[in-house]
Amino acid sequence: MKYILMMNTMKAGHGVPDWPRKDLQAHIAFMMGLNKELHERGELVSGEGLSFPDQAKLVCADKNGRPITDGVFPESKEFLAGFWIIDVDNQERAYDIAARISAAPGPGGAALNMPIELRPIMSAPPQEMV
Amino acid sequence: MKYILLMSGTKAGVEGYHAWSKEDIEAHMGVLRRISQDLTESGEFVATQGLAEPKEAKVVRGEKNGVPVTDGIFPESKEFLLGYWIVEVPNAKRAYAIAGRISAASANLPIEVRQFATNEAKSR
């Protein structure tokens, strides 16, 4: 079963977090270690970190199909900071991995306990849409 | 440069989509398939996925002892990811043009364009 785990922790305008350098390094080392472990278990399909929200754009098509870009977002909007796609035996395993990501170390090495949104991935579009 | 194009919508928006006529849904899916085909032919396609319905979504936190706590309660206003496209293109302008095509195929829904952190690392 494939799931996507989403870290939606960023807010509009945010850039690199203002953490001490060694705390940022510990956070990144934790994520790299987890990715290596998931890869070795054959559970990691893909994972990426996204650039910070200060570079995000919103694109809409105009009447002629041309792109209109905008970079103004509501303050309440949650921005995707990174995601993991995993292929696991069951939902419980997906929850366990999400909890480990949630508890990644933050400033001073304390667990962030950030919320991780977990969504099943459609293996194929619903029959009526094909 | 790699970009991710994110299509999001609220639960109410997803219900609205289900009320589309069969022909409209087929036309929408047809254009999206065509876009994926074009991106594959131009060598810009990396990946695309549709996500299962927002009602299947859960939010997970780690407890102090690392045990997962799950919840599925979200504010009505929350935008859920419906699907995404990952593309590898020479510049942001091209990513915006692709996002514009996807938007036009999807009732002009806004598409969020984000670049991958690895792009920044490369340009540093």
The CATH number given to whatever domain includes residue B84 is: 3.30.70.1060
Mean pLDDT to the nearest integer, A103-122: 93
C-alpha–C-alpha distance, residues A44 and A37, integer Å: 9
Q: Please give the average per-residue pLDDT across B17-37, as a whole number.
A: 93
- Give the H/E segment covering residue B28: helix B22-41
Token readout for A5 is 């785990």
pLDDT score of A98: 96
Q: Higher model confidence: residue B113 or residue A54?
A: B113
- By residue range, what is the domain housing residue B15? 2-123
Non-local CB neighbours of B3 within 8 Å, separated by 6+ positions: B86, B87, B88, B89, B92, B95, B113, B114, B115, B116
Q: How confident is the model at residue B120 (pLDDT cuts 50, 70, 90)?
A: low
Predicted TM-score (pTM) of the model is 0.89
At B78-104, the pLDDT tens digits run 999 999 999 999 999 999 999 999 999
Task: Tell me the nearest-neighbour CA distance from B90 into chain A, angstroms.
Answer: 17
Whether residue B99 and residue A59 make contact (CB cut-off 8 A), yes or no, is: yes
Write down the residue that tokens 């079963």 correspond to. Answer: A1
Q: Does A55 touch chain B (CB under 8 A)?
A: yes
Q: Which of B11, B78, B112 to mutate to test the interface with A (most CBs of A within 10 A)?
A: B112
The CATH homologous superfamily to which domain A2-122 belongs is Dimeric alpha+beta barrel (3.30.70.1060)
| Residue that is written with structure tokens 């670049």 in the block | B115
The domain limits of chain A are: 2-122
What's the domain count of chain B? 1
**Which B residues, 52 through 111, put their C-beta within 8 Å of a C-beta on chain A?**
52, 56-64, 66-70, 77-81, 86, 92, 96-97, 99-101, 103-104, 108-111
DSSP of B47-89 = EEEEBPPGGG-EEEEE-TTS-EEEE----TTPPEEEEEEEEE-
> What was the ipTM of the complex prediction?
0.87
CA distance B115 to chain A (A): 6
Average pLDDT over residues A39-58: 94
pLDDT > 90: percent of chain A = 76
- The pLDDT of A63-76, averaged and rounded, is 90
